[in-house]
């Protein structure tokens, strides 16, 4: 969570950007691009597509600034636009419904490993996950969004989001060949 001073800083910049101050928007860009790009990259798995998504997302954000509610989190709002951009860019028909087993008693997976994993190995394993599982894992497991928020961003039901997360955990366990708690 951001400190108050950082939120105030954002608010001032947003206000100026809303009035057409491109330099203020650039400062917002500089502050948030790392996280937005990280999100896009992990979802798209392709640096060029991710770069296009980042650019599209910030341009959309600029145009949508008048609709942004100052009290909301700019970061979350921006990520929502970025996720939307990624989803729009994905080719082919609407995502096929993936049949996943009802996890039953759902325990929030913390995605902690029995033994430490090499960062590169983990990134590769995440990259290899099927789309739905990967999306849920990246938003919830890595970027810390609640199921509700992540589901809303992805345009899926909360239950589906939880199930995809559960699936991601199982697949990671297989691919990393170690326990994933």
Out of 13, 14, 25, 167, the only residue in the binding site for other proteins (CB under 8 A) is 25
Please choose, from the candidates 128, 125, 133, 127, the residue with its C-alpha nearest in 3D space to the C-alpha of residue 98: 133
Question: Of 8-16, 50-58, 97-105, 149-157, which segment contacts other proteins by CB under 8 A?
Answer: 50-58
Residues contacting residue 129 through CB under 8 Å, at least 6 positions apart:
137, 168, 171, 172
Phi, psi of 180 (to 5 degrees): -120, 115
Contact in structure between 75 and 35 (CB atoms under 8 Å): yes
Out of 38, 103, 159, 170, the only residue in the binding site for other proteins (CB under 8 A) is 38
Question: Of 8-16, 94-102, 107-115, 127-135, which segment contacts other proteins by CB under 8 A?
Answer: 107-115
Please choose, from the candidates 134, 45, 139, the residue with its C-alpha nearest in 3D space to the C-alpha of residue 53: 45
* 47 touches other proteins (CB under 8 A): yes
Tell me how crowded residue 166 is: count the other CB atoms within 10 A of its CB.
20
Q: Name the residue nearer to other proteins (CB basis): 25 or 74.
A: 25
CB of 57 to other proteins, least distance (A): 9
Binding site for other proteins (CB under 8 A): 20, 22, 25-26, 29-30, 33-35, 37-39, 41, 46-48, 50-52, 54-55, 58-59, 62-63, 110-113, 116-120, 122-123, 126, 137, 141-144
């Amino acid at each position: 969570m951001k400190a108050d001073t950082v939120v105030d800083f954002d608010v001032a910049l947003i206000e100026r950007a809303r009035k057409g101050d491109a330099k203020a928007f650039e400062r917002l860009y500089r502050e948030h691009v790392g996280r937005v790009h990280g999100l896009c990259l992990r979802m798209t798995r392709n640096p060029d597509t991710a770069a296009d998504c980042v650019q599209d997302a910030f341009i959309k954000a600029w145009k949508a600034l008048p609709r942004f509610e100052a009290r909301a989190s700019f970061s979350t709002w921006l990520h929502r636009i970025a996720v939307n951009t990624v989803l729009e860019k994905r080719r082919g028909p609407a995502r096929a419904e993936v049949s996943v087993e009802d996890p039953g008693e759902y325990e929030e997976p913390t995605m902690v490993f029995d033994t430490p994993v090499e960062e590169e190995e983990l990134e590769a394993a995440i990259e290899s996950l099927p789309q739905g599982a990967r999306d849920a894992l990246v938003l919830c497991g890595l970027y810390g969004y609640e199921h509700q928020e992540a589901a809303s961003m992805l345009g899926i039901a909360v239950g589906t989001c939880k199930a995809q997360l559960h699936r991601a955990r199982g697949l990671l366990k297989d691919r990393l060949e170690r326990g994933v708690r």
